[in-house]
Amino acid sequence: MLASLVTVLALTLASAPPSQDPSAATCRSIDGRVSCGYGCKSDGQRVRCAQTPQGRCQVVDGQAVCFDPPAYVLKAYGDSLPAHECKSIDGMVACGYNCATQPGKVKCAKSPAGVCKGRSGDVECFDPPAIVFAVYGRETPQADCRSNGMQLTCGYGCVNAPEGVRCARTPAGVCKLASGRITCFDPPAAALCAWKRSLPAPECKNSETGPVCGYGCTTAFSKAACAATPAGLCKVFDTEVFCFDPPAEQQADAACLAALGLAALDGATP
């Protein structure tokens, strides 16, 4: 009898399916609809799966939702990436960072350094571009939002004027107000990859068309122009200012440029 029980137990264990790795990709189906990925969750009507091992899915207010951090954000933060949040309002659900709501609307940033603000029934979100994370890593400064009562804009170094609110897209950028006009300038990604945190602060000059900003700014009568990188130069010929920038990509750090490639891949993902 004992031998028979041992035989049955052995056959049962041999036929049992192997335990599944919760971190492995899988596919799940409900009502003929299939979803594949990681950490899949079902709300009884649909199945949602994260598209990366670092993504997370959960059921919020009866809805299965997933969030996948962009690859360049994961590279910047590594294991120190803070946990995201999910918020819901009026049947709408969104996941990410620094989420904000307005009646019937909810949005979240894609990164911890991103920001979302609600105003007048809408929600504005801003995430620093990939180049910022490539240069500053987990020390990427938190973005900000400014409003003039009519317009809400988010970014860095924001300037408020009667014509509106303008912000730079990177911490290395600058916004200048002169004669009621705002100009914002951000160094090109290749320059940030070449100089990184040692990149000098850009300058601004006034011209007949408003402020111009950059490097090596030069004026001629009421005209002004600036180079886009610290290696650039500007010269005056026949009352006109001409500027030239050597290709910063040749001095750029390869790993930094690779992070921009990760952003391009994220942007191509449906």
Alpha-carbon gap, residue 172 to 174, rounded angstroms: 7
User: Which of 19-23, 72-76, 87-91, 248-252 bottoms out in mean pLDDT, i.e. has the lowest?
Assistant: 19-23
Taking CA 247 as the corner, what is the angle to CA 241 and CA 251, rounded to the nearest 5 degrees? Answer: 130
Do 96 and 43 reside in the same domain of the chain? no
Do 73 and 91 reside in the same domain of the chain? yes
Q: What is the average pLDDT across 243-251?
A: 94
14 in a structural domain = no
Do 60 and 150 reside in the same domain of the chain? no
Residues 62-103 have pLDDT tens digits of 999 999 999 999 999 999 999 999 999 999 999 999 999 999
20 in a structural domain = no
Residues 205-221 have pLDDT tens digits of 998 888 999 999 999 98
In which domain, by residue range, is 51 found?
28-68
Q: How many domains does the chain have?
A: 2
Do 104 and 227 reside in the same domain of the chain? yes
pTM of the full structure: 0.84
11 in a structural domain = no
Show which of 15, 37, 68 is a domain's final residue.
Answer: 68
Alpha-carbon gap, residue 40 to 247, rounded angstroms: 46
Do 99 and 32 reside in the same domain of the chain? no
For all residues of the chain together, what is the average pLDDT?
88
Task: Please list the alpha-helical segments (H only) found in 116-210.
Answer: 130-136, 189-195
Count other Cβ atoms within 10 Å, centred on residue 93.
19
- Residue 71's Cα: distance from chain center in Å? 10
Kindly report the backbone phi and psi dihedral angles of residue 110, in degrees, each rounded to the nearest multiple of 5, phi listed first.
Answer: -90, -5
55: nearest Cα among 31, 29, 87, 86: 86
CB 247 within 8 A of CB 190: yes
